Amino acid sequence: MKIIISEIPDEGIEVKFKETIISDDSSYPTQAQMRINRTDKEVLISGKIDANVELRCSRCLKDFRLMLNIAVDVVYNPVEDLKGEEKHELKHDELDMGFYSGDELDLSELVKEQIILNIPMKPLCNELCRGICLKCGADLNEGNCGCSEKGTDSRLEILKKLLNKGV
Ligand SMILES: [Zn+2]
Ligand SMILES: [Zn+2]
């Protein structure tokens, strides 16, 4: 979804849209609601994004879907201003900054950036996910595989062998 900056009325506009954002080989069904205001050259966007993202659990490696609820607060300035002698003062330190060029601002790009920024680095399908057994690869969420009951952890076994060699 794109907006024409010169068409933003003085009182601002409220936009709501649904879109499936494509990033690399993932697609994220997304709903966004934003308030857009313009002051001279600045475009202020605030609102929220709800995105349904598919992730892979960092413990059990299973794919799962997660709903991201992202609060947006971004100030856009014309990219042309960056070139000028009079560099932009960062008066909006506390806010995210963005740049637009020409008279158009692509809200889909904004949504995409926000989703990527908010995807967890180490996603977990569940806080209590038990992961997979390092020895046999069984999903421990589905029950105990029995490896630990037989006593040894493969890493410990290797360590023991190394220690034995040294003696
Ligand atoms: Zn998991
Ligand atoms: Zn096992």
Domain ranges of the chain: 2-118, 131-167
What count of other Cβ atoms lies within 10 Å of the Cβ of residue 100?
19
Q: Kindly report the average pLDDT of the chain as a whole number.
A: 86
pTM over 0.85: no
The residues whose Cβ lies within 5 A of ligand 1, an ion, are: 57, 59-60, 125, 129
In this predicted structure, the answer to whether residue 113 has a pLDDT above a threshold of 50 is yes
Side chain identity, residue 100? Y
Residue 59 near residue 131 (C-beta atoms within 8 A): yes
- Ligand 1 centroid to residue 20 C-alpha, Å: 25
- Ligand 2 centroid to residue 122 C-alpha, Å: 23
Q: Do β-strands 96-100 and 104-106 pair in parallel, antiparallel, or remain unpaired?
A: unpaired
**How high is the pLDDT of residue 105?**
93
